[in-house]
Structure 1
Amino acid sequence: MKSTSIRRAIVPGIAALALVFSACGADNEGDGSTDGDGGGSSSLAGELNGGGASSQEAAQGAWIVGFQDENPDVTVNYDPVGSGGGRESFISGAFPFAGSDAYLTDDEGELTAATERCEGSAPIEIPNYISPIAIIYNVEGVDDLNLSPATLAGIFAGKITKWNAEEIAADNPDATLPDADINPVHRSDESGTTENFTDYLDAVAGDVWTEGALEVWPQQYGGEGAQGTSGVVSAVGSGTNAIGYADASQAGDLGVANIGVGEDFVAPTPEAAAKILEVSPRVEGRDANSIVFDLDHETQEAGTYPIVLTSYLIACPSYPAGDEGELAKAYLGYIVSEAGQEQGAAEAGSAPLSEELRTEVAGIVDAIQVG
């Protein structure tokens, strides 16, 4: 089995403004537990600032609303500056927590720096957001599309250029494919989605896709560039015979391809995406508070969608006495609670963590010390 991982900093080219959601609910009582309904106590008050991966933006918006509904005197801000920016701000102490599409390593000294920031203790790294990266398409007359790994790689590497090419026809024997040029759309900005997608291509079809995992699309492969996920979705939707890649929650009414896994073709559902963590090994040699995965893109496990973005929360195992640590613990507790995971799935289309994994990460958050 060939397992791969995303390790480098992922920083989108444009940092968006911070998300600020006003409290909108009644004064509900909560116990701060992360093993059931989640949420913090209504006695909590103050402002919590965090940020990082833009992939989590929609889910963070949902979690903020849910958390503030239970804690109306708390304001939570999440700034989707990108994974690298989030990690940098966490390490500097500007953020008490961060979201990241990559776990910390010492390739650029980040893990050591984060340990120093946490006063000598290894930082917490826990999965909180799983989403399929959908292959979106807009081809007239094609309502269902299957793509094997090699075929998908050939399209985005510029080696398969016609929709009725024999490789696509072999995957779709019952489809009426047009004799038309393929218009592949990619991200023009530095992107965690691009790196996760190209990491998949590298793992499953390295003889076709020869550039490895990249944050920035290689210009020699051509295609149409678009800024951000919304730009790719818009370009595919308004384009002719177009295909692209984007977070599945933002695919809208566009067609989404089924991807070959073993003998089957699997659709990008949240449930199928969540299964990849069940079949992927954890990174060895990590601290007990670090639950990070080397995604097994080559899995043959039935019903598993293999093109997935897994995002993490980064925090410290202890904080000085004060509101910031209390709020960070309570908010992270809500995110990994059953209620929080359901909120993210319902409002942002993310895949909930399995109950076994959710319980494990909730225990890590519960153990955060404040004061």
Structure 2
Amino acid sequence: MKFSRFYRSAAIASVAALALAACGSDDAAEGDNANNAGGDEAAAEVSGTLVGGGASSQEAAMTAWTSDITETYPDLTVNYDPVGSGSGREGFIAGQYSFAGSDSAMDSDEQEQACGSGSPFHVPSYISPVAVAFNLEGVDTLNMNPETIAKVFAGEITTWDDEEIAEQNEDVDLPSTDITVVHRSDDSGTTENFTDYLNGAAGDAWTWEASDAWPEDLTGESAQQTSGVVSLTTDTDGAITYADASQIGGLSTVAVGVGEDYVEYSAEAAASAVESAEEDPDSEGARVLDRSTEEEGVYPIVMISYHIFCDEYEDEGLVEQVKAFGNYVISEEGQAAAEESAGSAPISDTIRDEATERIEAISVAG
């Protein structure tokens, strides 16, 4: 089994419904308060503005989280700037953000620069399939194995009626339309996840290493952030891209070859991939995914998007803000809000327990 290293508009009505459901009984309210750092007294003590930035893939979920958390912490405001994973990590290192959202873990150099005398750690907060999405009139879905996907994005397959695509889609009338590859122009954790998948699953059809920057020697159109590539693909007949599945809108999608079958993206299929992920020994809290799995029903192009925190902060108020927000996001309520607004897969109890222990250990520097 081959493993590769895994570095890396909201529905307000739905959020409100979740919040009301959470308040439906005294027992439920007590449980929710316990999950969110404990009770009315603790909630009253958490106030101010917590600022984060990073992965645009989390934008829909983040809108739900930052809105819904005020039900428990009315005096806490969380602002999040969806500037992309790379910029988010840079802002976190520079002290611009108190936490980063990132679709890939910090590398060793980034970890050494972050958090002053403390250390960063990763909390898996948002699990989502990365869709291979395309715009081709009259075609709603296509089957492609990893090698074919790699050849399309490498520019070796250039038209939609290419024999290699056609033989995997015998019942589809494929046009001779040129394929336009659309990729991210900014450093992106989504790009790193997608290229990590191609590197791990496509064999010799993909010769580039996993990276948050698209290979410079490959041609194609580019745009910034998830919304940018989705918009450009939507406006371009014959275009194909990769993006967080929650944000692809009306684009068609590829069912990915896994073993002898083809698997369409879904939250359940993404969660199946994460269940077997192991912890990365070099990046605390991050996970390692098996991109070349042949397990039935597993969708391997999945990303685990993280919230990156420091294990210590400069004052008690900031510590309490970070703990309140961090614990809310990984709570069952927080994960349900993300699933409702963005279609993400909830984290497992094991991941939640490990993350809670790390969050609760955050302390004041010095």
TM-score (norm 2): 0.85
My pick for the range that moved more, 333-342 or 88-97, is: 88-97
Aligned to 2:76: 74
Contact 1:33/1:366 (8 A) holds in 2? no
RMSD: 2.8
Aligned to 2:351: 357
Tell me which amino acid in the other structure corresponds to 1:65. Answer: S
Change (3 A) 1:194 1:124: closer
Is 2:112 the partner of 1:112? Answer: yes
1:283-323 Cα distance to aligned partner (Å, 9 max, x none): 2366xxx2211221111121111112222122233445531
Match runs of 1:277-292 below 5 Å: 277-284=274-281, 290-292=284-286
Aligned to 1:205: 202
Q: Can you give the 5+ residue segments of structure 2 that lack an aligned partner in the other structure?
A: 9-15, 24-28
Change (3 A) 1:207 1:304: same
My pick for the range that moved more, 39-48 or 183-192, is: 39-48
Aligned length: 348
Is 2:262 the partner of 1:265? Answer: yes
Aligned to 2:176: 179
What is the CA–CA distance in structure 2 between the aligned matches of 1:345 and 1:53, rounded to whole Å? 17
SS in 1 for 2:262: strand
What is the CA–CA distance in structure 1 between the aligned matches of 2:297 and 2:281, rounded to whole Å? 26
Aligned to 2:12: none
Contact 1:7/1:102 (8 A) holds in 2? yes
What is the CA–CA distance in structure 2 between the aligned matches of 1:264 and 1:87, rounded to whole Å? 37
Aligned to 2:298: 304
What is the CA–CA distance in structure 2 between the aligned matches of 1:303 and 1:186, rounded to whole Å? 27
Alignment equivalent of 2:327, drawn from 330, 333, 356: 333
Aligned to 1:229: 226
Is 2:61 the partner of 1:59? Answer: yes
What is the CA–CA distance in structure 2 between the aligned matches of 1:221 and 1:143, rounded to whole Å? 27
Aligned to 1:33: 34
What is the CA–CA distance in structure 2 between the aligned matches of 1:356 and 1:125, rounded to whole Å? 15
Q: Can you give the 5+ residue segments of structure 1 that lack an aligned partner in the other structure?
A: 9-23
SS in 2 for 1:77: strand
Shift of 1:156: 0.8
Shift of 1:37: 11
TM-score (norm 1): 0.84
Q: Between Structure 1 and Structure 2, which shows a larger proportion of helix residues?
A: 2
Tell me which amino acid in the other structure corresponds to 1:113. Answer: Q
Tell me which amino acid in the other structure corresponds to 1:158. Answer: G
Shift of 1:115: 6.1
What is the CA–CA distance in structure 2 between the aligned matches of 1:185 and 1:131, rounded to whole Å? 20
Contact 1:38/1:340 (8 A) holds in 2? no
Alignment equivalent of 1:215, drawn from 209, 212, 215: 212
